[in-house]
Amino acid sequence: MPSIAIPTALRQFAGGNSAVQVQGQKIGEAIADLADQYPDLKKHLFDANGNLRSFVNVFINDEDIRHLQQNETAISDSDEISIIPSIAGGSATEADLRAGSTPLPELNKDEIARYSRHLIMPEVGMEGQRKLKAASVLLIGTGGLGSPLGLYLAAAGIGRLGLVDFDVVDESNLQRQIVHGTKDVGRPKIESARDRLSDINPHIQIDTHEFALRSENALDLIRDYDIVIDGTDNFQTRYLVNDASVLLGKPNVYGSIFRFDGQASVFYPASGGPCYRCLYPEPPPPGLVPSCAEGGVLGILPGIIGVIQATEAIKLIIGQGDPLIGRLLLFDALKMKFKELKLRRNPECPLCGENPTIRELIDYDQFCGIVPETVEAQTDDDWEITPVQLKQRLDQGERITIIDVREIHEWQICNLESYGSRLIPLGQFPDRITELSREEHIVLQCKMGGRSAKAYEALKKSGFTRIRNLKGGILAWADTVDPGLPKY
Ligand code: ZN
């Protein structure tokens, strides 16, 4: 029997399995069988019309089924079948990047000493190092991916590095965002990153852009750089970066991370390669894809993926090697395996295809939110309860059942057990609804309020009426009720 590899983000809907054996001679039958075995997976894989969702791609070995016979593609037991959902990351020549540029800058004596290990490599040499000095790279985000990117690109002598971020350094960032230090907690990330990068290399120029990338500013900002590197953790920025770089003909070095899985590629339609929308034409709707904050990430993972992105940027600049254009590199840290999938330009791509429908930038404001549409559309504002209100009601002796829908490892970090909270992870929720009574007053709680909103929907559909969602989850509880509670 053939088996289908299940990506980390979807395993919770497939009984926690990393691979599932399926029946079928053709890929369409195999996927239908998978959905029959795990009905919870169905809505993540198919839209209302029964078609595979646009942000879910199926590969047989290293080939996308859209470039084979689609659902009719025959499969055998030895085929490696994988589902690659989007995860809330040709051959370019130097001429592409340097068209119309001024002559290469000279290196001074200090720079020659500093870059000597580059200069003695024939692939870099004086000319390559001068290209690096002449180059400008825009880093979107100075977080998990942006940290190793910034550190290595600064050290390598990229002449002008642009940093875009508007966040401040939080203690929970330090597990992976290694450009920032403990002394920087509370500072704007952009200042902390600038100080560290200037310390690494005082010969480079660092431009700081302390704002969120939006449809109004993305084109003007990206226009001014040779290469864009996507180091964001959210879909709205990812689509904005992709669309703006395609419209401007710039290469976009992509990376993304989730728990133990990483992806990297170079999107560069101007040199014949595909763009992110060729792979995923539309962003996923809210709620279907977990964000990094909800899903967690191994601290080392952005280091690995960010360093791959930095390597790709440097190769593009010096015009050496085979770039990741038209290739999606997948990394599984648990198995310590890299895998490569072929990406092709999609002639139907709404952005870089033959008849593009997207000609300007789009802000996708809501879809990264973890709250499902049905809940978002609620007008009844008393479906939620704030931590302060809940504490007051508990203090008044009201009997309220708090149900925590996070995972066990999150419960072990912090929980409301002293208020009688019980753990029912969201994945087990449908099977364990019977443990709850419609007579009880129930408050649903998770980390930030997103997963518990889904549990709320499930209870509502099952006829529960005395239910509330804890607004902002246990993090809001820690912020407003119990500052002693550990945050993560
Ligand atoms: Zn495209």
* CA angle, residues 225, 231, 232, in degrees to nearest 5: 115
The 10s digit of each residue's pLDDT in 406-435 is 999 899 899 999 888 999 999 888 889 888
292 is catalytic: yes
Q: Which residue has the higher pLDDT, 61 or 53?
A: 61
What single string gives the DSSP state of each residue in 19-42? Answer: EEE---SBHHHHHHHHHHH-HHHH
Query: Can you tell me the distance from the alpha carbon of 445 to that of 453, in angstroms, rounded to the nearest whole number?
Result: 8
CB 34 within 8 A of CB 4: yes
How would residue 381 be classed by pLDDT, with cut points 50, 70 and 90? low
Please give the share of the chain, as a percent, with pLDDT higher than 70: 91
Distance from the CA of 220 to the center of ligand 1, in angstroms?
A: 21
Instruction: Report the pLDDT averaged over residues 391-402.
Output: 86
Look at the domain 3-85 and name its fold.
Answer: Ubiquitin-like (UB roll) (3.10.20)
CB 255 within 8 A of CB 306: yes
- pLDDT at position 295: 64
CB 255 within 8 A of CB 211: no
Of 292, 349, 368, 414, which one is the catalytic site residue?
Answer: 292
Q: Which residues, in sequence order, are bridge partners of residue 166?
A: none
Q: Which residue has the higher pLDDT, 192 or 459?
A: 192
Check if 94-342 and 373-480 are the same fold: no
The 10s digit of each residue's pLDDT in 293-310 is 556 789 999 999 999 999
Task: Say if pTM beats, i.e. exceeds, 0.85.
Answer: no
275 is catalytic: no
- pLDDT at residue 185 tops 90: yes
- pLDDT at residue 373 tops 50: no
- pLDDT at residue 367 tops 90: no
User: Do the strands 261-267 and 252-258 form a parallel or antiparallel pair, or are they unpaired?
Assistant: antiparallel
- pLDDT at residue 52 tops 90: no
How would residue 111 be classed by pLDDT, with cut points 50, 70 and 90? very high
- pLDDT at position 259: 84
How would residue 160 be classed by pLDDT, with cut points 50, 70 and 90? very high
Instruction: Identify residues whose C-beta is under 5 A from ligand 1, the ion.
Output: 275, 277-278, 349, 351-352
Distance from the CA of 93 to the center of ligand 1, in angstroms?
A: 20
- pLDDT at position 50: 81
Domain 94-342 is classified in which CATH homologous superfamily?
NAD(P)-binding Rossmann-like Domain (3.40.50.720)
Task: Of 438, 449, 396, 400, give the one whose Cα is nearest residue 421.
Answer: 400
Distance from the CA of 169 to the center of ligand 1, in angstroms?
A: 34
Distance from the CA of 423 to the center of ligand 1, in angstroms?
A: 43
Of 278, 349, 352, 446, which one is the catalytic site residue?
Answer: 446
Per CATH, domain 373-480 is 3.40.250.10 = yes
473-480 helix and 387-395 helix, angle to the nearest 10 degrees: 70
CB 14 within 8 A of CB 6: yes
CB 422 within 8 A of CB 405: no
Distance from the CA of 276 to the center of ligand 1, in angstroms?
A: 6
How would residue 378 be classed by pLDDT, with cut points 50, 70 and 90? very low
Distance from the CA of 375 to the center of ligand 1, in angstroms?
A: 32
- pLDDT at position 286: 58
Distance from the CA of 57 to the center of ligand 1, in angstroms?
A: 15
- pLDDT at position 437: 87
Q: Which residue has the higher pLDDT, 374 or 262?
A: 262
- pLDDT at position 284: 72
Query: Can you tell me the distance from the alpha carbon of 144 to that of 262, in angstroms, rounded to the nearest whole number?
Result: 12
- pLDDT at position 92: 39
Edge-to-edge strand list for the sheet holding 227-230: 205-209, 160-164, 136-140, 227-230, 252-258, 261-267, 327-332, 337-342
Distances (CA, A) of 418 to 227, 398, 402, 429, 479: 52, 15, 11, 22, 17
Distance from the CA of 49 to the center of ligand 1, in angstroms?
A: 24
CB 28 within 8 A of CB 71: yes
Helix then strand then coil, in percent of the chain rounded to 5, is: 40, 20, 45
Which residues have a Cβ under 8 Å from the Cβ of 240 and sit 6 or more positions away?
213, 214, 215, 218, 361, 362, 363
Distance from the CA of 219 to the center of ligand 1, in angstroms?
A: 17
Query: Can you tell me the distance from the alpha carbon of 485 to that of 415, in angstroms, rounded to the nearest whole number?
Result: 8
CB 131 within 8 A of CB 318: yes
The 10s digit of each residue's pLDDT in 217-226 is 999 999 999 9
Q: Which long-range CB contacts under 8 A does 455-464 form with residues at least 24 apart?
A: 455/403, 455/405, 455/424, 455/426, 455/429, 456/375, 456/383, 457/372, 457/374, 457/375, 458/429, 458/430, 458/433, 459/433, 462/433, 463/438, 464/436, 464/438
CB 278 within 8 A of CB 246: no
Please give the share of the chain, as a percent, with pLDDT higher than 90: 56
| Residue boundaries of the structural domains of the chain | 3-85, 94-342, 373-480
